[in-house]
């Protein structure tokens, strides 16, 4: 029986391994993590992450051929294939602070693999890592455990949070990069055999190691760039009277461009886009390509600008001050169908409004209060000028309440900011909400999900990104 072990039971490790276990019943899959609470949650009724369909997949395999454990060394030692799906955040200090990927977790995982291995292993980079990381991993493994063959593969994950299970069941492609040696090719074939259980072979792309590593960074950079492009256009729409929805539609019907990822919004978030572009910028700088680095920097700068622009619009619309005014924040997660708040634009928007002394009442169907408090009191790291900014003062945080109902959040509010595109926000009783708000009542739709005409008819003053302003 082939044994797989995955180091890192996070947003990627958990769902990907659950799907491999489901699709390959003859393979034993162990997902291991140093975090005891995380593993306990994976073994409980309340999984540590929310993803539509995930619970069902886990329930079908857990205890049969899918195991979650903190006994990292035992499962790594027994495995034929070891996926490494640990976090690779942006470095916050030292060389490359603010841009380079922090590979501390990866290196410690690699050293541990070397320490405990007594048989040949395929080691798979599942985390997103800088191009050429495999070279470093090969050195660590070879020098620390002589006589054992380690084959390193790059198999970056392209799932999107919120649709992870669907993406894993029907991936656009599975990418496997390996060495062009007989051992490397044998390893590629072994991993291909795993995915071939459910992925059509023409969707399994095999490349050299560096192409696979760089492709993941490139894919995220392209996606984020598309969002920044449409958001940059949204600012121009507001200045000229054009409507971003109409512009996006007109642009997206060109088959060379396509319609996806052309929705204007308050900005992109999530743990990956910014981190991976920063990583790309750093790699360009290290390779003597400052102009290429500057090109990608602009994607993040436009994203930051979009969040600032949104806050400024809220404040300027509400008669140039939100001091003492209650503002309902609908949605805190970085996108719908996830409880993940990493790099969510809501953090910057909320902090901007608190900075202007607003009182916030926040509602998100999946994000608990302690998470929101942690996010809002966390230090903000400025990637362009890597110095730590001051954390929020405790008094500012007191101006924030987290509630479990959109009606409660909006009661007596002066304005509403919609920051996540949760479906339920489209279908609220806005007449009831309007009746219970202070007047004039404002809606700032940061996701362009609302029927503006309907809201205006009720009496709201409405701002939507990239749309003509309320007459």
Which residues are known binding-site members for NAD(+)? 8-13, 33, 38, 86-90, 127-128, 161, 272-275, 342
The nearest distance, CB 311 to ligand NAD, in angstroms, is: 26
Could you say whether residue 140 binds ligand NAD (CB under 6 A)?
no
Could you say whether residue 272 binds ligand NAD (CB under 6 A)?
yes
The nearest distance, CB 152 to ligand NAD, in angstroms, is: 16
- Minimal CB distance to ligand NAD: which residue? 10
The residues in 157-216 that bind ligand NAD, with binding defined as CB under 6 A, are: 157, 159, 161
Nearer residue to ligand NAD within complex by CB, 347 or 413: 347
Q: Specify binding-site residues.
A: 8-13, 33, 38, 86-90, 127-128, 161, 272-275, 342
Nearer residue to ligand NAD within complex by CB, 29 or 233: 29
Could you say whether residue 86 binds ligand NAD (CB under 6 A)?
yes
Question: HSE on the CB side for 308, CA within 13 Å?
Answer: 7
Residues 367 and 374 sit within 8 Å (Cβ to Cβ): no
Nearer residue to ligand NAD within complex by CB, 66 or 327: 66
Residues annotated catalytic, as ranges = 272
The nearest distance, CB 15 to ligand NAD, in angstroms, is: 9
The nearest distance, CB 467 to ligand NAD, in angstroms, is: 30
The token duo for 424 is 């339920």
The nearest distance, CB 155 to ligand NAD, in angstroms, is: 11
Could you say whether residue 31 binds ligand NAD (CB under 6 A)?
no
With CB under 6 A as the contact rule, the residue among 5, 6, 11, 268 that binds ligand NAD is 11
Report in angstroms the alpha-carbon separations of 197 from 23, 25, 324: 6, 10, 59
| CB atoms near residue 408 (< 10 Å) | 13
Nearest to 18 by CA among 36, 31, 32: 31
Could you say whether residue 100 binds ligand NAD (CB under 6 A)?
no
Consecutive H or E run containing 77: helix 72-78
Beta bridge partners of 463: 444
With CB under 6 A as the contact rule, the residue among 155, 248, 271, 366 that binds ligand NAD is 271
With CB under 6 A as the contact rule, the residue among 58, 67, 88, 449 that binds ligand NAD is 88
Could you say whether residue 234 binds ligand NAD (CB under 6 A)?
no
Could you give the CA distance from residue 422 to residue 159 in angstroms, rounded to a whole number?
A: 19
Could you give the CA distance from residue 425 to residue 140 in angstroms, rounded to a whole number?
A: 50
Q: How many residues bind ligand NAD (CB under 6 A)?
A: 27
- Given the rule CB under 6 A, which of 2-10, 194-202, 348-356, 420-428 is the region that contacts ligand NAD? 2-10
Could you say whether residue 315 binds ligand NAD (CB under 6 A)?
no
Report in angstroms the alpha-carbon separations of 15 from 101, 299, 307: 23, 29, 31
Interior CA angle at 195 toward 191 and 200, to 5°? 130
Q: Kindly provide the residue ranges of all beta strands, DSSP E only, lying in 59-214, ordered along the sequence.
A: 66-69, 81-84, 121-125, 150-154, 174-178, 204-208
- Given the rule CB under 6 A, which of 6-14, 199-207, 345-353, 381-389 is the region that contacts ligand NAD? 6-14
Beta bridge partners of 381: 388
Could you give the CA distance from residue 158 to residue 171 in angstroms, rounded to a whole number?
A: 8
φ, ψ of residue 314 in degrees (nearest 5)? -60, -50
Could you say whether residue 244 binds ligand NAD (CB under 6 A)?
no
Could you give the CA distance from residue 417 to residue 284 in angstroms, rounded to a whole number?
A: 37
Nearer residue to ligand NAD within complex by CB, 51 or 238: 51
The nearest distance, CB 67 to ligand NAD, in angstroms, is: 14
The dihedral through the CA atoms of 55, 61, 66, 70 has a sign that is: positive
Could you say whether residue 8 binds ligand NAD (CB under 6 A)?
yes
Composition of the chain by helix, strand, coil, percent to 5: 45, 15, 40
The nearest distance, CB 16 to ligand NAD, in angstroms, is: 9
Q: Which residues bind ligand NAD (CB under 6 A)?
A: 7-13, 32-35, 38, 72, 85-88, 105, 108-109, 127-128, 157, 159, 161, 271-272
């Amino acid at each position: 029986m082939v044994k797989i072990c995955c180091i890192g039971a996070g947003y990627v490790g958990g769902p990907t391994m659950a799907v491999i276990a489901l699709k390959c019943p003859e393979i034993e899959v162990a997902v291991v993590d140093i975090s005891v609470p995380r593993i306990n949650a994976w073994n409980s009724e309340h999984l540590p992450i929310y993803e539509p369909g995930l619970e069902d997949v886990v329930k079908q395999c857990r205890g049969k051929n899918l195991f979650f454990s903190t006994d990292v060394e035992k499962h790594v030692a027994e495995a034929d294939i070891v996926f490494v799906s640990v976090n690779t955040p942006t470095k916050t200090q030292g060389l490359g602070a603010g841009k380079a990927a922090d590979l501390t977790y990866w290196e410690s995982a690699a050293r541990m693999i070397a320490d405990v291995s007594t048989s040949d292993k395929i080691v798979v980079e599942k985390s997103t890592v800088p191009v050429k990381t495999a070279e470093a991993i090969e050195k660590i493994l070879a020098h620390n455990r002589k006589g054992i063959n380690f084959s390193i593969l790059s198999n970056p994950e392209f799932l999107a949070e919120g649709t992870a299970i669907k993406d894993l069941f029907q991936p656009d492609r599975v990418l496997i990069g390996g060495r062009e040696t007989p051992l490397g090719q044998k390893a590629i074939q072994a991993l291909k055999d795993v995915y071939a259980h459910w992925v059509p072979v023409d969707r399994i792309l095999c490349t050299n190691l560096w192409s696979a590593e760089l492709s993941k960074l490139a894919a995220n950079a392209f996606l984020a760039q598309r969002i920044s492009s449409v958001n940059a256009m949204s600012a121009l729409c507001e200045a000229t009277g054009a409507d971003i929805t109409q512009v996006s539609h007109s642009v997206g019907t060109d088959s060379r461009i396509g319609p996806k990822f052309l929705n204007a919004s308050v900005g992109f978030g999530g743990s990956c886009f910014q981190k991976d572009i920063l990583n790309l910028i750093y790699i360009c700088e290290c390779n003597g390509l400052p102009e290429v680095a500057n090109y990608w920097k602009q994607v993040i700068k436009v994203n930051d600008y979009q969040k600032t622009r949104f806050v400024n619009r809220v404040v300027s619309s509400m008669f140039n001050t939100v001091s003492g005014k209650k503002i309902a924040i609908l949605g805190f997660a970085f996108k719908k169908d996830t409880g993940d708040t990493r790099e969510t634009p809501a953090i910057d928007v909320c902090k901007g409004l608190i900075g202007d002394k607003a009182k916030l009442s926040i509602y998100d169907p999946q994000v608990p209060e302690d998470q929101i408090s942690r996010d809002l009191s966390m230090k903000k790291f400025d990637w362009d000028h890597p110095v730590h900014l001051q954390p929020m003062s405790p008094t500012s945080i007191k101006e924030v309440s987290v509630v479990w109902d959109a009606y409660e959040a909006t009661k007596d509010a002066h304005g509403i900011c919609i920051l996540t595109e949760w479906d339920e926000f489209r279908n609220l009783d806005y007449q009831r909400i309007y009746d219970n708000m202070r007047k004039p009542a404002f809606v700032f739709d940061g996701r362009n999900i609302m029927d503006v005409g309907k809201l205006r008819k009720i009496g709201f003053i409405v701002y939507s990104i990239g749309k003509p302003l309320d007459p």
